[in-house]
Amino acid sequence: MFFSFFEYPAATTRTRSLKARLLQPADWQALGTATNLSAALAYLGTTGYQAALGAAASQTPALPSLRTIEHALHHALIGDMINISRFVHGAAFNLLAGLAQRYELVNVTTQLRRLSQPERRENHLLTAPYQLGMLALTSAAAWSSCNSLNDLGRLLEKTYLRDEFRLGLASFGDSHDLLRFESALDAAYLRELLARLDAVHDTRQQQLCSIIGTVLDELTLTGMVRFRFTHGLEAAAVYALLPLHGCGRLGERQFWELAKARSEDELCTALQTLPGWQSLACATLRDVVLHLRRTRQAACRSVFLRATPLSIAPAVAYFFIKEQEIMDLICVLQMKRFGIPFAPERLVRMAA
């Protein structure tokens, strides 16, 4: 642990250089005033996303689809995390790899859907798997060799997703209901991420836990609404699918209070009565999530103002700052694609 501290200054220096390339207020203003999607992409091509957009454009002679653009933008974040991770080892490396492996989980669920729903194989999810390089759970070429669910299981055999995949596949049966299967894989990923966070003994451990805690708060709230009111699951079944361990503001008691709600509106009203939620609770889940993300953004920004060089916190904060920037960018590009008036209040990065 002591010697790992000497790796952090180099990683922090690289992180700060990457952070300097993030979009500035003038960039957001230019994107907001762009007349259409083509104009927005043309401007974005003059920023630090030039290489990512070039990769997206090379895949098609026409204007790339939003799915292709989104895929390329997320690859830019993966590339940054690979860049930073070269400077650290041990528990710090494992934590950064764990953050990036969220995209590996996307690869797994994409393959799971493709292989379990043969009628959708030809037209569904045509984008290539995310390539995580040194941060990957498995080799980049291995995804193309998956021709069955058993192949996918063998691919995950030496990863922390192995047991949940085995259990999920055994209970999958003939129903082809992927909800519990995918939720179990999500839970396995989050347990591993929290274990890696616990293994890092950092000078800013509390800040790290706080940032990731807001992520789990968001996943728990959105998952609760989806499972309860979209899929109609009973509260006890929902409880088993949610990442309550590690949440910043939600726990078992709060869950059962919210579980009494009979609709999303009632849940949002109940949220306003819970300790620690008064400043975040809103009339709609969408606004609650927006407040949570702004809270996380502020916490990440404070890391760069207060963190010492002997901490991995700036690299973790950068991951979430850039991830939010990409989500905001996709929101702006969707506005341009569909001719929706620019609404900066829907963005997080501009408000931070």
Judge contact between 86 and 62, C-beta under 8 A: no
**Identity of the amino acid at 73:** L
Confidence label for 267 from pLDDT (cuts 50, 70 and 90): very high
Q: Which of 5-14, 74-83, 216-225 has the lowest mean pLDDT?
A: 5-14
Cβ contact 65:91 at 8 Å: no
Q: What is the pLDDT of residues 57-83, one digit of tens each?
A: 656 556 778 889 999 999 999 999 999
pLDDT > 90: what percent of the chain? Answer: 71
Per-residue pLDDT at 331 exceeds 90: yes
Tokens of 153: 């299981």
**Lookup result for tokens 């996709």:** 330
Query: Tokens 């500035």 map to which residue?
Result: 24
**Exposure class string for 148-171: b at 16+ Cβ within 10 A, else e:** ebeebbebbeebbbeebbeebbee
Q: What is the C-alpha separation between 106 and 253, in angstroms, rounded?
A: 31
pLDDT tens track for 114-147: 888 766 555 554 568 999 999 999 887 788 788 8
What is the separation, in whole angstroms, between the first and last Cα of the chain?
A: 34
| CA–CA separation, 196 and 95 (whole Å) | 5
The full set of domain ranges for the chain reads 1-152+182-199+309-352, 205-306
Give me the helices (H) in the chain, please.
8-19, 25-33, 37-44, 50-57, 66-85, 90-100, 102-116, 149-155, 162-172, 179-199, 205-225, 235-241, 252-258, 264-271, 285-306, 313-338
Stated pTM of the model: 0.93
In degrees rounded to 5, what are phi and psi of residue 274? -85, 140
